[in-house]
Structure 1
Amino acid sequence: MLEHVGRLVVRARRIVLALTAVAVVGFAVAGIGVIDRLSGGGFVDADAESTQATQLLDQDFGTGQPNFVLVVTSPSGSSVDDARVRQLGADLTGRLGRETGVLEATSYWTLGSPEALRSKDDRSALVLTRLAGDEDEVRDTARTLRERFDDQDGLTIQAAGSSVVYGELTDILQSDLIRAELFAFPLTLLLLLAIFGGLVAASLPLLIGLVSVTGTLAVLAIVASVTDVSVFALNLTSALGLGLAIDYGLFILSRFREELATGTEPHEAVRRTVSTAGRTVIYSAVTVSISLAVLLIFPLYFLTSFAYAGIAVVLLAAFAAVVVLPAALAVLGHRVNALAIPRFWRRGKAKPDRPNFWGRLAAMVMRRPIPFATVVVVVLLALGAPFLNARFGLPDDRVLPASAESRQANDVLREEFSTRETEPAFVVATEPVASAEVASYAEELSRIDGVARIDASTGSYAGGRQVAPPSPQSTQYGSSNGTWLSVVPDVETYSPDGERLVEDIRSTQAPAPVLVGGRSAELVDTRGAITDQLPLGLGLMAAAVGILLFLFTGSVLIPLKALLLNLLSLTATFGAMVWVFQEGHLRWLVGDFAVTGTLDITMPVLMFCVAFGLSMDYELFMLSRIREEWVAGADNVTAVTRGLERTGGLITGAALIVAVVFLSFVSSGVTFLKLLGLGLALAVLVDATIIRGVLVPAFMRLAGRANWWAPRPLRALHALIGLRESSKTPG
C-alpha cells in the first residue's frame, strides 16, 4: 500500500502541497481561541464518592465548599474587631453576596466573629464565598470579582480558593507557552542545521510540526465543544507536535538523502523512502498512539485530555511525514541539500575499515555484554530508588509561582489561621436522621484525630462534646431530604494525615448511609481511581505494543526485551521526580518552587505513557535497521553493529532536540509542568543513549539467534500478516 502512496504522492506532489496549505489555514482558523474553551481542572474522578457528595450538597442543601475566599487585612495598627473595620467587612460581605454568580457569601463579621475566621495577629479575617456554575463559569466569575473587590477603604484584599487558582493557572499557561516556544524554536533550528548541514533540509521537519500542531488545535477545539478538555493539553500538543515532527522528519529525510547518495533518481528515491522508512513511521505512530490511548481509561479528564491531544498530534505528524513531506521532497529533489552551511558534526556512513562511534560502542559492548549490562542496570536502579519513598497529592495553589496572588493568599491562610476553615471535609447523609442521632454521630466524629470541630444542625462539637448550641446558621445543615455535617480539620488537606482523616470518617459507624467529600476525600478517591485502573492500563499497553512489535519483527523475544528495557529506562526519571520535586533538590537549576513533600498523583501515569511511547519510537527506528541487516544475511553481531551505526546518531540527534523541547517546560511557573518537562527530557536522553547504546546491544548479543526466534505457528502467522520494510533498499 505504501508503495502506491509513494507513487501517488510523486504524481500529485503540487496538489498535495496546495491542499496542505489550505488545510493548515483551516486548522489555524478552527483553533483560534481554543485556550478559552479549555478548563483548568480535571484532577478528580467525576464519579467518585467525594464528587457525588459535593453534588448532593449543592442539590439538596444549596450549599458547598467555598471556592472563592477573600483574605481581608485591616490597616496597620487596627484589628478586625475595630468598629470601623467591622462595618467595612460586613458591607463588603453584603455587596459580594449580591454579585451575579454568587450563591452565598459569609464572613467573620456576619457569622458572629468565630475565632477560626480570624488570623493569629487579629489583623486579617476571611470572607467565604461560593460561586455558581461549572469550573469554567466559576473561574470567569472569580476573575470579575477580583477586579471589582480590590484593595479599598484602607483594607488589603487578597483572593484565594480553587476558582482563583484555576484562573491563574490558565493565565500563567498562556505566557509559559510563548516563553517555551521562544526558548525551544531557535535551539531546535540550530540543532537541525547541525544535523543536516543545510537550511532547506533543516526546515522541512518544521513543516510536519506546523501540520500536526495546527491540526491538533482544531481537534481540541472540536472535542472541547462536546466534553471537558484540560488547558494543559496544549503543552503536550506543542511539545509532541514539534518532537515527533523532528523524529519522523529526520527518519524520512535521512532515508531520502541516502537514496540520493546512491545515485537513485529523486522521484524513485521518494517512492522507496515512503515504502520503507514510511512504514516504520506508521508503526511508530500506532505504537505511540496506543501508549497515549491508555490514558483514556482513567476517569480524570486531565489525563484523558492528554490522550485526545497526543493521539491527534501523533497521527497528524505521521500523515504529514508520509504524505506531505515526501511531496515536498519530490518537488525539491536534489535541492534538498541547498543552502548548505558548515556542519558542526558529520554523521555520515560507517566506513568498512573504521566504524563510526556508535558502531564502535556496539562492538565494545558486545565483546563484554554482561559487565556492561550489569553496571548500567545497577546504576539505573540506584537512580530510581528514591521513587520507593514517593508520596502523592493533588495540585493546589502551591503549584503556582510565589508571585501569584492566590498563592500568597493561601500562604497567609496556612500560616496565620489555626484551622482549615476554608477546606472542610463534609459528611452528607442521603436520608433524614433524627436530631439525637445527629448529635451522637457528631460527637463521635469530633473525637477523631485531626478534627478541629464538627458543625451540625444540632450545634458544634469538639473533643467528643458539644461546644456550642444550635445557632441560626445551623439550619443550613438540615433539609427534608437529609442532613450534613461540616468537618473542620486541623491537618494539612493534601497529606497522609488528611487521607487518614478521611478513612477514619468513612470507617465511623453512621446512623444513615453517608457520602464523605472535601479536598482530602478527593485525593483518596483520585488515588483509588488511578490505582484501580493502572493494572488494566499497563496490561493493555504491554499486550498491544507486544503484538505490534511481533508483527514488525516476527520475534517473541524482542517485544519482551523492548518492554523490559523501556521500563528500566524510566527508573532514573521516576527517581529524579522524587529527589528534585518532592525533596526539593536542584531548585537553583530548575527554578524556585514550593516543596510540599508530595508529587502530583497524575504525573507518573502521564509521564509513563508519553515516555514509553517515545521509547518505542526509538526502538522501532533501531530495530528496522538491525532486522534488515539480519534478513539480508548478516550474523547477529554484525546486524546489531551496522544497525546501531546507521541509527545511533540519528536517534541521539532526534532525542536531543526532543529533550530541548521538553526542557522548555522547566521555564514554566507551574510546578507540575516543570516536573513533566524535566522528567520527559531525562527519560528521552537516557533511552536514546544508555538504553540504545549499551543495553540493547548487550541484550541482543546475549540472546544471539534467539532474538529472531518464534514458534512455528507464530512464524506462519507473521509470514501471513506481518508487516515489514522492504529489504531491497537500506532501511
Structure 2
Amino acid sequence: MFTRWGDIAYRWRRVVPVIVVAVIALLYLLVGTKLGDRMSSEGWDDPHSESTRAAQIEQDVFGRDASGDVILLVTRDNPDTDLSSEEVRTDFTRQLNAISSSHPDQVRQTLSYFDGQQAQLITDDGSAAFASVSLQGVEDEVLKNYREIEDALHSIEVPGATVEVAGATAVSGALDTGMSDDIARAEVIGLPAVALLLILVFGSVVAACMPLLVGVLSILGSMGVLSLLADITMVNTFAQSVVTLLGLGLAIDYGLFMVSRYREELAEGRDVRTAVRNTTASAGKTVVFSALMVAVALSSLLLFPQAFLKSVAYGAISAVGLAALLSVFVLPSVFALLGRNIDKWTLFHRGRTKEDTVNSWWGRVPAFAMRHAKVLTVGLVGVLLLLTIPLGGVKFGGINETFLPPDDTTRVAQNNFDENFPELRTDPVKLVIRQDDGTSAVGQVYQQANAVEGLTGQFQVSQPTKDGVTVLSAGIADRDDNDRIVNELRDIKVDGAEVLVAGTPAMGVESIDALFGKLPWMLLYIIVATFILLSLVFGSVILPAKAVIMNLLGTGATLGILTWMFVDGFGADLFNFSPGPLMSPVLVLIVAIVYGLSTDYEVFLVSRMVEARAHGASTKEAIRFGTATTGGIITAAAAIMIVVCGAFGFSSIVMMKYIAFGMIAALVIDATIIRMLLVPALMALLREDCWWAPTWVTRISEKIGHNERLEVVDASTAPTPAAAERSDEGSERSLRRTSAVSVATEDGNVGANSGAGAHEDGPVPFAELMARLERDRRNDRKG
C-alpha cells in the first residue's frame, strides 16, 4: 500500500500538494477561525458524580448559584481613607450601577457594602470591603458575560484605595487567558526556534523547511478539526493548548524522519523517483504505525468520565493522525518536485551514508552499551526507579487560583479576599438536602454538619427551602482537608431526607476517586493494546514486552520528577509557580502522552533492528545498526520536541507547565538513557530470545508489517550520485525490478545483494555492511 502511494505521490506530484493545502486552508478558513467561540471552560467534573447531580438539583430549583462569580475587593491604601464615608460609598455605587445598567444581559444582580452597608461585607477594622457581582447565564455563557464587562470592572477606581477583581469566574477567565496565550507563544517563539534547530540538523534551508511545512499545516488543520469537534461535543479550552503542543511537535518529528530518509536514499545513489518510493514505503509506513501507537495511548483517556479528558483525547488523536497523514501524503510529492534541490541553500554538509552512520559515534555508543550490558542494565534501571520514588508523595486537588502564577493579579486579589474574609469562600462546600413533607431533617443535618472540624465557620442556609430542597454552604479552611471533610459530610444520614455533598471541593474529591477507579483499567488497556500492535509490527513478543517495561520505567521516572517539581517545589521560584496538589485529570493526561511518545520512538528504533535481523544480521549487529541509524534522528526529534515544549513551559498556567516539563523530562530520559543505552544493553542480554514469537504472530507480522518492497540498486552496477542525478530525467519510466536484489523491509532497509562486491562509489550491500560491522566489532574488542 505504501509503495503504491509512493508511486502515486511521484506521478501526481504537482496535484497532491495543491489539493491537500487547499483542503487544509478551506478547513481552517471555514471552521477553524470559529474555534475560539466554540471552546468551553467546562468539563472538569464527573457528570455521573454526586456533586454534579446535587448541583443540577440546586440549579433546577433555585437557578445557578452566582454569588461567587465576581468579587470587587476594595482595600484602603492608608488609614486616612474611610471606606464607610458617604463620598466613597456614593462614588463606588455610581460606577457599579453604571456597569449593571449598561450590561443588563450580562449582570444579574449586585450585592455591595457600599450600597447596603451590611456588616459582613467589611472587615472589623474597616480596612477592606467588597461587592459581589452575579452574572447571567449558565456554564460557558457565564465566562462570555464576564468578558463583556471585564474591562469595565477593572476600570473602577476609589480614591485612596485599591480595587481588585477576584471570584470564581474571574479566576476561570485568567486561566482561559493564560491558555490562549500559550498558543500564540508557541507560534511566535516555538516555530522560529524550531526552524533554527532544523537548519542545524539538516544543514540545508530547503530541507529544514519541509518539517516546518508539515507543522504549520498541522496547526491549521488541527484548529479546523477541533472546531468541528466543538460543534458536536464539548471541547475544553485547555484541549487547544495540548493539541497544538502534540500536533506541532509530532508533525515536525514525522517530517524530520521523512526528510532524513529521503536524503539518505539520495546519498545511497537512488534516483529521485526511487528515493520517493522507498521513503514512502519505509519511513512513511513507520510514521503511520508510530502515530497509531500514540493514538492508542491517547484513546485510553476515553475511559474516564470527565468531558475535559474526552475532549483532549478527541482533539489530540485527530492532531496526531493529521500530522502522520500530512507527512505521508504531502511530503513525498514535495520531495518529487524538489528532487535533489532538497539540499539547496546548504550551509554545511550533514548527509552521510548508512555505512558512515554505523561507523560513527552513534554506532559506538550501542557497542559500548552491549560490552557493559549487565552493569548498565542494573545501574540504569536503578536510576530510573530512584527517580520514581518522589511519586509516592504526590497530592491531588481541584482547579483553583493556585494554578495561576503567584504574582498574577487575579490570584493576588483572590488571596487578599480569602485573607480579609476568612469565613467566606467563593468555592464553598455545599449540602443539598431533599426532605419529605412534614419532616425537620434540615435541622438535624445542620447540627451534624457543623460538628465537622476544619470549616471556616458554621454552615449557613444559602438557599432557603423550596419544593422540599434546602442548600447549606460553608467554607473549608485548608484545602488539604477537602478529602476528609467531604467524606465526613457524606456520612451524614437523616431519616426522611437525602443529603448530597456538592461544591468545588466535592467535585475535586470525586475527580480523584474517578482517577483511582479508572487508572488500573487505563494502564491495562494501554499495555495490552501496545503489546499486540508492537508484536504485529516487530514479529516478536519479547521485544514488545521489553518496550512495555521500558515505557513504564520511563513514565514512572517522569512522574517522579514532576512530583519533585510541582508538589515538593523544586524550581518553583525559577519557573514562577506555586507547588501544591495536582489536578488528577492532568496526571492521567501526562501518563497517556508520555507513554505514547515513548512507544513512538520505540517503533522507529526497533523497526530498523528488525530490518537488519531480517537480512541475516546477528543480534548484536542488528542492535548496533538500528541504534546507529536512528540515534541521531531520534535525538534531533527529541530536541525539536523539547524546543516546542519549552515554549509552553513559559505558560502562566501550572497545568500547562506540568505537561510541558513532563514531556521534556520524558524526552530527555527516553532519547538518552533508554534508547541509546538501556535498550541495547537489555537486548544484548536477551540475545537470540529477542526475536522469538509464535508462528502465527510471525505470519501476521509478515503480512502487516513487512510487506513493502523497496527498489534497491544492484551494488555491482550502482551509479554514483552524480550519475543518479543524470538519470533522474528518465525516472518517469516504470521502475525496473530485478531478481538480483532482495526485498527490503521496514524503515531504512538496504537490500541484500546476491551479486558481486560493492561499487566504490555506490551503496554498500547489507551483507557487506554487516561484515564490516563485524570486523569493526572485532577491532574494538582487540582495542
TM-score calculated relative to the size of structure 2: 0.85
- Secondary structure (helix, strand or coil) at the match of 1:478 reads strand
- Secondary structure (helix, strand or coil) at the match of 2:472 reads strand
Q: Deviations over 1:313-372 (max 9, x none)?
A: 1111111111110000111111111111125x67653449x8222221111111121110
Label 1:239 to 1:147 Cα distance change in 2 as closer, same or farther (>3 A): closer
> Which position in structure 2 is the counterpart of 1:327?
333
| Structure 1 position 102, deviation (Å) | 3.6
Q: Deviations over 1:149-176 (max 9, x none)?
A: 4424546432212211222222233333
| Stretch of structure 1 that moved more, 405-414 or 629-638 | 405-414
- Secondary structure (helix, strand or coil) at the match of 2:14 reads helix
> Which position in structure 1 is the counterpart of 2:445?
441
Q: How many residues align?
A: 706
- Secondary structure (helix, strand or coil) at the match of 2:237 reads coil
Label 1:724 to 1:280 Cα distance change in 2 as closer, same or farther (>3 A): farther
| Structure 1 position 375, deviation (Å) | 1.2
Query: For residues 287 and 42 of structure 1, what CA distance do their matches in structure 2 show?
Result: 26
Q: Which amino acid aligns with 2:643?
A: V
Report whether the alignment pairs 1:491 with 2:493: no
| Structure 1 position 565, deviation (Å) | 0.3
| Structure 1 position 642, deviation (Å) | 0.9
Query: For residues 390 and 673 of structure 1, what CA distance do their matches in structure 2 show?
Result: 18
Alignment of 1:347-426 (within 5 A): 349-351=354-356, 355-426=359-430
> Which position in structure 2 is the counterpart of 1:57?
58
Label 1:363 to 1:120 Cα distance change in 2 as closer, same or farther (>3 A): farther
8 A Cα contact 1:637 1:701, kept in partner: yes
- Secondary structure (helix, strand or coil) at the match of 2:163 reads strand
Query: For residues 151 and 128 of structure 1, what CA distance do their matches in structure 2 show?
Result: 14
Q: Deviations over 1:135-192 (max 9, x none)?
A: 3211121223333344245464322122112222222333332223332222211221
| Stretch of structure 1 that moved more, 368-377 or 235-244 | 235-244
> Which position in structure 2 is the counterpart of 1:466?
none
Within the candidate set 206, 223, 246, 1:200 is matched to 206
Query: For residues 27 and 215 of structure 1, what CA distance do their matches in structure 2 show?
Result: 7
| Stretch of structure 1 that moved more, 556-565 or 167-176 | 167-176
TM-score calculated relative to the size of structure 1: 0.91
Query: For residues 152 and 195 of structure 1, what CA distance do their matches in structure 2 show?
Result: 55
| Stretch of structure 1 that moved more, 209-218 or 163-172 | 163-172
Label 1:198 to 1:482 Cα distance change in 2 as closer, same or farther (>3 A): same
8 A Cα contact 1:120 1:418, kept in partner: no
Identity of aligned residues (%): 35
Query: For residues 412 and 616 of structure 2, what CA distance do their matches in structure 1 show?
Result: 67
Within the candidate set 524, 527, 532, 1:539 is matched to 524
- Secondary structure (helix, strand or coil) at the match of 2:324 reads helix
Within the candidate set 249, 253, 261, 1:247 is matched to 253
Structure 2, unpaired ranges of 5+: 710-742, 750-783
Within the candidate set 176, 183, 186, 2:182 is matched to 176
Q: Which amino acid aligns with 1:316?
A: L
- Secondary structure (helix, strand or coil) at the match of 2:354 reads coil
> Which position in structure 2 is the counterpart of 1:697?
680
| Stretch of structure 1 that moved more, 22-31 or 426-435 | 426-435
Alignment of 1:31-42 (within 5 A): 31-42=32-43
> Which position in structure 1 is the counterpart of 2:229?
223
Query: For residues 456 and 238 of structure 1, what CA distance do their matches in structure 2 show?
Result: 45
Label 1:265 to 1:347 Cα distance change in 2 as closer, same or farther (>3 A): closer
| Structure 1 position 557, deviation (Å) | 1.1
Q: Deviations over 1:76-128 (max 9, x none)?
A: 4345555555666777777777643444433456787354x433642222333
> Which position in structure 2 is the counterpart of 1:506?
490
Alignment of 1:184-333 (within 5 A): 184-333=190-339
| Structure 1 position 568, deviation (Å) | 0.8
| Structure 1 position 15, deviation (Å) | 0.6
Q: Deviations over 1:676-704 (max 9, x none)?
A: 11111111121011100111011111111
| Structure 1 position 547, deviation (Å) | 1.0
| Stretch of structure 1 that moved more, 317-326 or 403-412 | 403-412
| Structure 1 position 717, deviation (Å) | 4.2
Q: Which amino acid aligns with 1:616?
A: T
Structure 1, unpaired ranges of 5+: 458-473
8 A Cα contact 1:49 1:516, kept in partner: yes
- Secondary structure (helix, strand or coil) at the match of 1:100 reads coil
RMSD: 2.5
Query: For residues 181 and 509 of structure 2, what CA distance do their matches in structure 1 show?
Result: 33
Q: Deviations over 1:216-265 (max 9, x none)?
A: 11011111122221222222233222221222112212222222222221
8 A Cα contact 1:68 1:161, kept in partner: yes
- Secondary structure (helix, strand or coil) at the match of 1:485 reads strand
| Structure 1 position 405, deviation (Å) | 3.1
8 A Cα contact 1:629 1:643, kept in partner: yes
8 A Cα contact 1:198 1:337, kept in partner: yes
Query: For residues 15 and 195 of structure 1, what CA distance do their matches in structure 2 show?
Result: 29
Q: Which amino acid aligns with 1:6?
A: G
- Secondary structure (helix, strand or coil) at the match of 1:669 reads coil
> Which position in structure 2 is the counterpart of 1:468?
none
Label 1:425 to 1:588 Cα distance change in 2 as closer, same or farther (>3 A): closer
Report whether the alignment pairs 1:13 with 2:13: yes
Query: For residues 691 and 725 of structure 1, what CA distance do their matches in structure 2 show?
Result: 29
Label 1:158 to 1:432 Cα distance change in 2 as closer, same or farther (>3 A): farther
Query: For residues 640 and 509 of structure 1, what CA distance do their matches in structure 2 show?
Result: 64
